[in-house]
Structure 1
Amino acid sequence: MKIIIINGPNLNLLGKREPEVYGDETFEDFYFLMKNKYNTVDLHYFQSNIEGEIINKIQEIGFSYDGIILNAAAYTHTSVAIADAVKAITTPVIEVHISNTFSRESFRHQSYISPNAKGIIIGFGLKSYELAIKAFL
């Protein structure tokens, strides 16, 4: 099974950024733990702060992978373009968020991606990604 995790803006700062919200573990450390724990899965990772690069990656792999775990971060609440990219592909997408977006600012309660996602996992910290991997398995 071939799965990719795609992270959006500012998630490259995990471990440093607002540890009270996002924890103190870097995503790279977590990713390597997941690669080792799920070593039968061909697991990939991509992060960008740039909306167009995220769209390009979704289009590039959206017909050949078995699953996409997408945390579009702030673009979740603003990007019709990323939502359209998710809608245009055949690879199923699970939308993931580290924090419970519904316990935060009201603008974070809207997701343009959710209507086109296979499912949504929010609020379980980095464990949200592992839950998405398990959902695909």
Structure 2
Amino acid sequence: MKFLIINGPNLNLLGKREPGIYGENTYESLCARLKEFAAEHGSTAECFQSNHEGAIVDAIQAADGAYDAIVMNPGAYTHYSVAILDALKAVSVPCVEVHISNIHQREEFRHKSVTAPACVGQICGLGLYGYEAAMGYFLAREKRG
């Protein structure tokens, strides 16, 4: 499988930004971990991060026909980006939404995901493992046919 891993605003600051919530690992180490996980399963993973909504929309649109699955942490855009929701609905590439923290244990505004309805599922609160869990879901789904 070919995975596109999309990360939204501020995820480039992993390891620096609120390590008590997001952990000590850097964004670079996350990408290396996910590429290694994919390779161990005969797959590839490309990481994309942007702090700009339009760039994320462009990446989703460009994924159509180029990737088998998207694993996306939209960051703050989770809670208000209809543009990202619409882009996910417009492509034939399935997506699992991932959040490092448990968004349901945080501030009230973080409980609602605008983008999740366009995804096959949502994983939150499992730390960086959530990305691997999402990839594992797609790998198992492909195996079952």
Q: In the TM superposition, what is the alpha-carbon distance from 1:35 to its structure 2 partner? A: 1.7
Q: Match of 2:115?
A: 113
Q: In the TM superposition, what is the alpha-carbon distance from 1:29 to its structure 2 partner? A: 0.8
Please say if residues 12 and 27 of structure 2, whose CA atoms lie closer than 8 Å, have aligned partners that are also in contact: yes
Deviations 1:24-78 (A, max 9, x none): 0012112212222331211100000000000000001123310000100000001
CA distance in 1, matches of 2:9, 2:63: 19
Is the deviation greater in 32-41 or in 106-115? Answer: 32-41
Query: Is 2:38 aligned against 1:48?
Result: no
Please say if residues 37 and 132 of structure 2, whose CA atoms lie closer than 8 Å, have aligned partners that are also in contact: no
Q: How does 1:1-137 map to 2 (within 5 A)?
A: 1-39=1-39, 40-137=42-139
Is the deviation greater in 102-111 or in 56-65? Answer: 56-65
CA distance in 2, matches of 1:87, 1:47: 20
Deviations 1:87-120 (A, max 9, x none): 1110000000000000001111111111110111
Gaps of 5+ in 2: 140-145
CA distance in 1, matches of 2:90, 2:65: 10
Gaps of 5+ in 1: none
Task: Count the aligned residue pairs.
Answer: 137
SS in 2 for 1:30: helix
Letter in 1 for 2:113: S
SS in 2 for 1:70: strand
Is the deviation greater in 27-36 or in 103-112? Answer: 27-36
Letter in 1 for 2:88: V
CA distance in 2, matches of 1:49, 1:133: 23
Q: In the TM superposition, what is the alpha-carbon distance from 1:122 to its structure 2 partner? A: 0.5
| Segments ≥4 residues shifted beyond 6 Å | none
CA distance in 2, matches of 1:41, 1:35: 8
How many percent identity over aligned positions? 52
